[in-house]
Amino acid sequence: MQERFGEFVDNILKMDRERKKETAQKKQDDRLWLAYIHSMSEQSFHDWKNKLMGNKETVSYAMTDKQSDAVKNRVKGILNRITPV
């Protein structure tokens, strides 16, 4: 009996997450639609949205070994200047 209740609760939570996801997507689309109208673009909304959303570049915060060594040296310099009171 309890396993059925757990399954029931799990389904309720999944439906709630899906509803929230759909609501957020609808809000985003509504905002994009308003921006599209104000842009007075000659493109279709679909093309305009794809162009806008497709411009996201992957950002890498990885550092090269040289950059990492430079940061380590700078930190060591800062720590060496600190004197206990």
More confident residue, 61 or 69: 69
Q: What is the pTM of this model?
A: 0.49
The predicted structure's pLDDT at residue 85? 74
The predicted structure's pLDDT at residue 57? 63
pLDDT digits (tens, 9 = 90+) for 18-57: 999 999 999 999 999 999 999 888 999 889 888 888 866 6
Lowest mean pLDDT among 2-6, 12-16, 26-30, 62-66: 2-6
CB 61 within 8 A of CB 52: no
Q: Is 79 left (phi over 0), alpha (psi -120 to 50) or beta?
A: alpha
Question: Domain ranges in the chain?
Answer: 2-81
CB neighbours of residue 81 within 10 Å: 7
